[in-house]
Each structure stands twice: as C-alpha cells, then as structure tokens.
Amino acid sequence: MDTFPSEGDIGRTRKVTTHEPSQPSPTTVLWQRCTAVHGCTGRAVERFGGCPAHLRPDEFDRFVAGIRPGADLDLRGVTVPAWLLDALLDALTGPDGRPHIGRTRFDGAVLPSHAVLHGACVEGDSSFDGACFLGGASFYDARFFGNVSFRGARFGGNASFHAARFHRHASFEEAVLAGDALFGEAAWHADASFRRTVFIGAACFDRARFGRDAAMQAACFGGAVSFKRVHVARHARFERARFRCGVWLGPLVVGGRIGLADANANGGLRVHAAARQVIARGATVHGAADFRLRHAELDLEDAGIGGTVTVRSLPQPIQGVAEPVWTDPPMARVVSLRGVSSRGLHLADVDLSGCGFLGLHRPDLLRISGDCAFATVPARHWQPFGRPGRPGRAVLAEDLARRTGTGGDRLGAGVDPVRSRTAGGGYEAAGGREAGRGRDSGRGRGTAGGRDAGRGRGRGPREGAGRGRAGRPGAGRGADVARLEVLYRELARASAGCGQAALARDFRYAALELRRHGDQAQWRRLTLHVLWLTSGYGLRTSRMMAWLAVIIALLCCGATYLRHGDNQTSAAHRHTLDRGCSPGRRGLPPAARKAAFTGRAAVIEDDRNVTGCLQ
C-alpha cells in the first residue's frame, strides 16, 4: 500500500492500494477457444480454429476422416449435438463393434439428451468434470481402462452404468444425478469415490463389485437405495451420508469396515452384512434400525434411533456373495451402546462381553434373547456333587475394567479392556488401550496430550480437574460407580422381564456388590457384608443351605455333647464313690449311697463308717 500527498490537498494523503490480479471468471477456460462463433467456449481444432460443433462441412469431413479407433478425443467445453456424437463414435468404432477411445476429455461439455456410449472402451484416462448431460446418459457395458472422473458432472435424466468396468480410480465426487442412477453389476477394480454426490432419484448398486474402497461420505440419496449382493474388498464408507427414503444395505460382504458415523436416514436403516466392523457412531435414524451381522463389531455410541433397534447374528453365510476366509466365530459383537437413545433395543445371539452400556438411554427397554455372552468373573460358590457349574457371574465390561484396573480414570474409556479385535483401522480399541494407561484426554483416541490429562496437567475441558474440589481423587470414579449401580438395577429388571432369570440375578448381585464396597454409611456396609456372607444378598441358595446345614450341625453337636457329658459325669462320680471305700471296710448303706447320688445331706448313724468312706 502506497501513500503520497495529492497535489491539490496540502497536508492530506491519499491511499492507493496495489490490487492483486483478479481471479479468472467462471467463463474463463484453460484451452484454446473456438473462434468460429462468438462466446463459444469449446476447444478449437488446431487446424481450423473452430470447435468440432462449429466447423464447416468440408472441415468437419476432414476432421472426422483423421479419426481412427483408439484416437484421443477432446471435446472440452463443446456443446455436442446428437449428430456430432454419433459421427465421432462411428469413426472410433473398431472391428469388434465397440468404440475405442484413447485420452478422452469432456470437461465442461454439454452432451445431448439420451447420450449413448454403449460398450465404449476408453483406453486412456477420461475426464467428464463439469460436464452437463441434458437428458439421460447410458454407459452400459462400458470399459474404462484408465482413471475416470465425473467430478461435478450434471445428469438431467437417468444415468446407466450397468455392467460397466472401471479398471482404475473412478470419481463421481460432487456429481448430481437428477434421475435414477443404475450401477447394477458394475465392477470397480480400484477405489470408487462418490463423496458429496447427490442422487435425486433411486440409486441401485445391486451385485456391484468394489475392488477396494466404496467411498460415499457426505453423499445425499433422495430416493430408494439398494445394495443387494454387493461385495466390497475393503471399506464401505457412508459417514455423514443422508438418506431421504431410508436405506437397505445388503445382503453384502465387506472385507473391512462399514462406516455409518453421523449418517442420517429417514425411513429406517437396515444393514444385512458380513464385515469386520460396523461403526454407526452418532447416526440418526428416523425409524427402526435392523442390524443382521456376521463376524462384525458393532459400535452404536451416541446413535439416535426413532424406532426399535434390533441386533442379531447371522449363523449361516450370505448366499450369493463369497465371504473372505475368516477364522473367528461368526457371532456379531457389540462394542458400545453408550448414549444410544431408542424406543426399544433387542439383542439376539450377540457377544456383549466387551460392550459398554454406561450412558444407555432407557435400559429398561432392553430385550435379550438367544445366547448373548457377557463378560464374566469366576464363580466363588461351591458346586455340589462335583457337577460343572456356570463359567462365572455375568458382569458388564465397565465393571470388569474397574475390577482389573484397565478402565482408566473414567469407566468405559476403552472399548474392550479384556480382548479387542480390530480390522481395517480399528481406532476405538487402540484408543481404549491408550486411555487405560492415562494417556488420552476425553474419549480415548490415543492423542499425545492425553499424558498430561492422565496426570491432571492437561489443557482440555476435562483435564486438570484432579486439583479442584469437584475433581478430587475418586470423585468422578465414585459418580461412575453410582451410575453403574443404577444401570445394573435397570438391566436386572429388563432381563427379568424377557425371561432371563439367571442374568437378572447376576445383575442384582453385581449392583449390591457395588453398593457394599462403595456405600458411605458404615452400618449399611456392615449389613450388606452380613447379607453377602450369609446368603449372597438372598440370591445364592446354595450359600443359605450351607449356612443352614452348618447351624443344624452345630446344634446337633451341642445337644449330643451336653447329653453325653451328663452321662459321663454321672458314671465317673459313681465309679469314684465305689473306688473310694477301702476293701477292708464295708460299703455305704443304701440310704447313704442314695443320699450321695442325689446330693442331699443325710444323717448317718454310723459315724465311723461314713467318715472312713469320705476319707
């Protein structure tokens, strides 16, 4: 910025700003523009100066005559009429009846309605960035051997890529498809990116094959969505996606992770899949949610479901889709239900040994059926007659972490303190281990700043609380223990309501155990200790029977001892009296002997004999 005095203004200054070069306008293009028609943004043919759509007939004939199968095609910015597209495709058609195109450039082009590129073989890289299809477009059975990009493309009608093959990276990012999008039986040998793509109509990916990732983060699906019999080699990513009419994912097989974090589905969500992980943290579903999974870890932390949530395991493989060779059991595993709000939660035949329940909204609506495995602690009660008893008492993962000391300063900081299985970027389990060592601040993601948080020297909102009044040692832990006790009681009622009597007893027992160890009133702790010792809080029948048997045995032994002791005393006294008399003297008269046994004093006439016997 330069400042200098104006000629007519003494003492005044005028500011002159040196402007930066202005940005190119949207109509500015980076190629040689057509000069045949004013305002045309089409790529000019070098020999003629005009774009292919504005060539004179003789120039167009010479232009088409120079095109052979496999030649490059550059129509950037050209408004392509139907006759031009047909003529170019005819010139590029090879002996096999397929158009063979080399390097293809349709950036910013306007293609006619019903643009047909059936069976086209694009042997080089192709770019349709910013292209506009006025109507429907068909790439049925097309082959893209190079990288292909439809970034920002606009499809005014239905777009068909049915049975198309993408051998390298394919991008449809920020594209808008006004009609139905048909990708059935399409195959991607590398990554397929649909980030921020807008599907206004229905989207069909049935029987599609993804060689690597299927990236659809922040995509918007305005119509019905179908992913039946789909195979994804790595990850299917739908984070922050929007589904206006619900979504049905599956049956499909994903080699890595299905990401649904922060997704929004109106009309319900159904996932029927075999995968390593299904992460739906913070997802919002306006309707019911149904998860039918194999080999998968399900994370539903902070999810909001407007209807009922159903999670069940699939014992049999999915028909029609080949699964990878996985050696672990097919039972699905739920790793977190913290913060889940729904109108009902039904769990069937799933592994809950590492599941976090602390913070679950309305635990009383939980329904458990089938064989659901919880974390266990060794059973202490004796099994009569050597019969094999239960493997242990069922507890929650947060309680087990508190017992083993692997849960960090805050219960539920890790996903699974006992065992964790990660595949394709399982950051939750790794973060849980870091949080257990006191090296993570907040949610247990394994950050470097967590070391300060573990020592009370952090700079985050929860760090350094150990020095204050509210954050004195054990204060937060005591609050979590109290919440865990309430959770146990609610889960006990819910388990009893769905016919899981043994599980309800274990939860009641665990709640009383927490109260016995954490109650502030000493007399209540003493009372609970007595109840625990004598009857297991009234929940251990074997312990009560054992104490009853001990009491009965003690009473019987006491009665027998008293009775046997009286008999021995009488016999000993009689024997002593008999041996007390000398052999040369005569014994006591019957009257004196009777008086000696009854303890009464008797007047004995014979003083000599009585005195001799007593001595």
| Banded model confidence at residue 477, pLDDT cuts 50, 70, 90 | low
**193 vs 359: which has the higher pLDDT:** 193
**2 vs 130: which has the higher pLDDT:** 130
If you ran DSSP here, which 8-state letter would residue 341 be given? B
Average pLDDT over residues 441-447: 39
Average pLDDT over residues 327-354: 93
| Banded model confidence at residue 241, pLDDT cuts 50, 70, 90 | very high
Least confident range from 262-271, 295-304, 351-360, 575-584: namely: 575-584
Least confident range from 112-126, 202-216, 431-445: namely: 431-445
Extents of the domains making up the chain: 38-204, 552-614
604 Cβ contact list (under 8 Å, min separation 6): 589, 591, 592, 610
- Helix, strand, coil fractions of the chain, as percent rounded to 5: 25, 25, 50
Distance CA 288, CA 307 (A): 4
Average pLDDT over residues 358-368: 90
Distance CA 565, CA 587 (A): 27
**81 vs 545: which has the higher pLDDT:** 81
* pLDDT for 199 beyond 50: yes
Q: How many CB atoms lie within 10 A of CB 135?
A: 15
Least confident range from 140-144, 233-237, 410-414, 567-571: namely: 410-414
pLDDT number for residue 62: 92
| Banded model confidence at residue 570, pLDDT cuts 50, 70, 90 | low
| Banded model confidence at residue 192, pLDDT cuts 50, 70, 90 | very high
pLDDT number for residue 492: 85
pLDDT digits (tens, 9 = 90+) for 177-187: 999 999 999 99
pLDDT number for residue 177: 96
Task: Say how many CA atoms lie within 13 Å of 91 toward its Cβ.
Answer: 19
- Are 335 and 356 within 8 A, CB to CB? yes
Average pLDDT over residues 504-526: 69
Share of the chain above pLDDT 70, in %: 68
Query: Which residue type is seen at 209?
Result: R
Strands 344-348 and 308-313 turn out to be parallel
* pLDDT for 455 beyond 50: no
Backbone angles phi, psi at 80, to 5 degrees: -90, 115
pLDDT number for residue 501: 78
pLDDT number for residue 440: 38
What are the Cα distances from residue 468, in Å, to 306, 463, 591?
Answer: 40, 11, 92
Averaged pLDDT of the chain? 77
| Banded model confidence at residue 347, pLDDT cuts 50, 70, 90 | very high
Backbone angles phi, psi at 148, to 5 degrees: -130, 140
Distance CA 11, CA 13 (A): 7
pLDDT number for residue 47: 82
**368 vs 422: which has the higher pLDDT:** 368
To the nearest 10°, the Cα dihedral for 512, 514, 520, 523?
A: 30
pLDDT number for residue 278: 97
pLDDT number for residue 435: 37
* pLDDT for 370 beyond 80: yes
Share of the chain above pLDDT 90, in %: 47
